[in-house]
Chain A
Amino acid sequence: MDYLAKKYTRPRKIPSTACSGCGLGINHKAVLQAIYELGLEVEDIVWGTSIGCAGRQTFGTWKGDGFAGTHGRVYAIARGLRLALPSEKKIILTVGDGDAFGIGLLHLIHAARSNADLTVIVNDNLGYMSTGGQYGWTTPLGSKTDSSPYGMYEQNLMSDDIDVLSMLKHAGATFIARHVSMDGQRAVESIKKGIRNRGFSLIHMVYPCPTNFGSRELGTRNTIKLYEWIESRAAPLGEEDENTVWATGVYHDASNSRPEFSENIHKNVERIRRGAAL
Chain B
Amino acid sequence: MGKKLAVTGNQAVAEAMRQINPDVCAAYPITPSTEVMQRFASFVADGKVDTELVTVESEHSAMSACIGAAAAGGRVMTATSSQGLALMWEMLHIASGMRFPIVMPLVNRALSAPINIHGDHSDGMGSRDCGWIQLFSENGQEAYDNLIQAIRIAEHDDVRLPAMVCMDGFIISHSIESMEYLPDDVVRNFIGEFRPKNPLLDIENPVTYGPLVLPDFFMEFKRQQHEAMLNVKDVVLDVAREFEKISGRGYGLFEAYRLDDAELALVILNSAAGTAKDVIDEYREKGIKVGLLKPRLFRPFPYKEVAEALSSARVIGVLDRADSLGGFGPMYMEISSAMTTNGAKPLMINKIYGLGGRDFMPEHVVQVIDELKEIAETGNIRLQKDFLGVRE
- B-contacting residues of A (Cβ < 8 Å)? 51, 59, 68, 70-72, 102-103, 105, 128, 130-132, 134-135, 137, 146-150, 154
Do B31 and A147 touch (CB < 8 A)?
no
Q: Spot the interface stretch: B35-43, B197-205, B252-260, B331-339.
A: B35-43
With A70-B112, A134-B34, A149-B45: A105-B57 Cβ-Cβ less than 8 Å: yes
Interface size on B, residues (CB 8 A): 21
**How close is A184's CB to chain B, nearest CB, in angstroms?**
32
Complex CA gap A154/B55 in Å reads: 10
Do B34 and A132 touch (CB < 8 A)?
yes
Complex CA gap A136/B30 in Å reads: 13
In chain B, residues 15-52, which have Cβ atoms closer than 8 Å to a Cβ of chain A? 27-31, 34-35, 38, 41-42, 45-46
B58 at the interface (CB under 8 A from A): yes
Do B115 and A149 touch (CB < 8 A)?
no
Residue of B nearest to A128 (CB): B29
Cross-chain pairs A/B with CB under 8 angstroms, 26 sampled: A59-B115, A68-B112, A68-B115, A70-B112, A71-B58, A71-B83, A71-B87, A72-B58, A102-B57, A103-B57, A103-B58, A105-B57, A128-B34, A130-B31, A131-B29, A131-B30, A131-B31, A134-B34, A134-B38, A134-B55, A137-B57, A146-B38, A146-B41, A147-B27, A149-B42, A150-B45
Chain A interface SS verdict (over half):
loop
Do A147 and B55 touch (CB < 8 A)?
yes
Do A131 and B34 touch (CB < 8 A)?
yes
B113 at the interface (CB under 8 A from A): yes
Residue of A nearest to B113 (CB): A68
Residue of A nearest to B30 (CB): A131
Residue of A nearest to B84 (CB): A71
**How close is B63's CB to chain A, nearest CB, in angstroms?**
13
Complex CA gap A197/B30 in Å reads: 35
Chain B residues in 8 Å Cβ range of A134: 29, 34, 38, 41, 55
Q: What would 11 more interface pairs be, CB under 8 Å, given A68-B112, A70-B83, A149-B46? A: A51-B83, A51-B115, A59-B115, A68-B113, A68-B114, A102-B58, A128-B34, A131-B34, A134-B41, A147-B55, A154-B55
Residue of B nearest to A73 (CB): B87
Chain B residues in 8 Å Cβ range of A68: 112-115
Residue of B nearest to A130 (CB): B31
Top-9 shortest CB links A-B? A131-B29, A131-B34, A103-B58, A102-B57, A147-B41, A128-B29, A134-B29, A149-B45, A146-B38
Complex CA gap A137/B58 in Å reads: 12
Complex CA gap A150/B30 in Å reads: 22
Complex CA gap A263/B27 in Å reads: 40
Residue of B nearest to A150 (CB): B45
**How close is A155's CB to chain B, nearest CB, in angstroms?**
12
Chain A residues in 8 Å Cβ range of B46: 149
With A68-B113, A70-B112: A132-B57 Cβ-Cβ less than 8 Å: no
Chain B residues in 8 Å Cβ range of A59: 115
Chain A residues in 8 Å Cβ range of B58: 71-72, 102-103
Do A132 and B29 touch (CB < 8 A)?
yes
Do B35 and A132 touch (CB < 8 A)?
yes
